[in-house]
Structures are given as structure tokens and as C-alpha cells.
Amino acid sequence: MVQSMRLLMISAMYENGGNTTHRLLDGHPEFMVYPFESQTGTKYVLDFLTSLYPVKYRWPVFPIGVSAAEAYEMIIDEEAKVRSKTPYVSKFRTAVFEMDDKERKEIFIKKLEGIPLTRKALTQAFFFATFAAWRNHRKSGKETAYVGYSPIIGVDAEKIITDYGKDGFILHIIRNPFSAYADTKKRPVPLSLEHYITGWVTCQYLVGIYAEKYPKQCFILRYEDIIADKREALSDLFTSMGIKYSELIEYPSWNGEPLSEVYPWGTIRIPTEEVNIQTAKELSKQEIDEIYLRTKKYLEHFDYLSIYRKIT
């Protein structure tokens, strides 16, 4: 039988602070925090959002009649599989990570023996097997929930809550689009402004709907509020989950080891208010004007007009 634990999925449009939040929660003793992006999507995800967001970031779809072994291979989980199978080409090659992917697959299959292969069962087994096979994972013995991070997974918040019921939670992080786009431009092959901002707006729109429908399970937090006061920003989520605050989330970490910067887990290296504003100022006037035009209603809704005024 699969060990049943609650699931908290962190969501964020690219460079919106999802990796930072993921690394902050890493040290919390009540969380089993996935080591990298938990890319649970499969190639069978096909809907009106497929052209906008990579399927690896979506909540998975499995064909009818799939076996446990087949389902395991369908889960993309690129970052963990690359680090486990070919560590020398992984951007996390310097992270001490002891996990044999073949062993994880065996644990996954064994945990699913004799039970219906529902999507909840398959995703629970995926998280369970990861932590069972991760040999050097530091456990507190107080864990009550798995924590995963997959960019833009909040667009599938309703699917996760439907699958997990009262045990499913989504924490969606939003960052002002000026700083976010300035950081995404630093990628080797960045998205165009039009593509990026369309994805940013669509993500906020859909998660906003689910936050209203499921206010005790789907939460939207500003990245700016998290870096300003973590205790206050996360209080509603922790209260809803019955989680106590821990000072261990005051700094980013990986497997309990403090990180001097979040990179390479994310493009944001130093999560401070000063760096956030300075990053936004890297944009040209033309870029700032175009982003303002495309996001004006959200700038007003999330109180980002003050940041816009600081950079113009």
C-alpha cells in the first residue's frame, strides 16, 4: 500500500520565485521537499494550454491500462533522472545526491502492487519512491507532507485538488513581471516578451480562479512579500495545513545545507528586495512600456504599480 501523505505543490511562472520558495521550505522539519523540480508531466498531456507551457510542468495524464512500470517511465522528471543517470551533464552535478533511478523504479512498482493505478496512487508512489531511494536525504522524523515544485503547475490546481481531496495544496508564487522578465532574458534561449508575458498573465488568471474556488487549499503569494517577511507571508498556508512555523525557512537550503545563493536551482541568485528592484531596472524603456500595457490590470490587482513607478 502506498504511504499516504499530504501533497503541497509549489507553482510559479518562470523566474517568479518558485525555486526560491522551494529552497526556503527545504529546511522545514514537517516537509519532505523534492530535491529538484518535480516534473510530473507526461507526453499524454494535451489540451488548450499545451502550446503555451511545456508538458513536463503539467499534472500528468496516463493512458488507460498502463502498468506501474510504464507509468514510471512516462513521468518526465528530467532534472532528477539526469542527475541520477548522467550526473556529469547535470547542472546539479556538484550537489551531493545519492539516488539510483533503477532502485527508485523498483520501489515505485512495489508500492503499487495490488492497488488501482489512479493518478493519486501513481503520484504518491512517485514521491514516496524518491525519498525512499534518496540515500543521503536528511529526515527529521516529523514529516507530514511532500513538497514538490513544478513551474506553472497551478494551472492544474483543480486537478490536483480533485485527485487528493483535503490532502492536496497549491502554493502559487507571483513576482512583478518586470523583474521576472528581466531574469528570464538571462536564459540561454529566452522566450520572447510576448510569449513570456502571455504565459505570465494566463498563469495568474487561472490560479486566481482556483484560489477563489478552493481558498483553504490554493494560495497565491507575492514573491516580494515572502522575501520581506516569510512568517507573515506563509501564515495562512501553514495554518490551513496545521504546520508550525520554523526558523529553518529563513534561508534557502538544499537537503538541509544552507545555500549562499539559489542558483543553479533558479535564475534568482540573491532573494532580496534590493536585488529584485535592481533587476527590473535592467529592462529598456520600450520593454517596460510593453509589459505595463500587457499586465496593467494585474499590476493594479497585486499592488505592483509602486514597482512600476520606481523603474520609470
184-207, pLDDT tens digit by residue? 999 889 999 999 999 999 999 999
DSSP designation for 148: E
| pLDDT of res. 2 | 42
Where the chain has pLDDT below 50, the residues are: 1-2
b/e code 132-168 from CB counts within 10 Å (16+ = b): bbbeebeeeeebebbbbbbbbbbbbbbbbbebbeebb
pLDDT value, residue 99 = 94
Please give the pLDDT value at position 270.
Answer: 75
What's residue 267's pLDDT? 72
pTM assigned to the model: 0.95
Give the model's pLDDT for residue 3: 54
Number of Cβ within a 10 Å radius of residue 235:
12
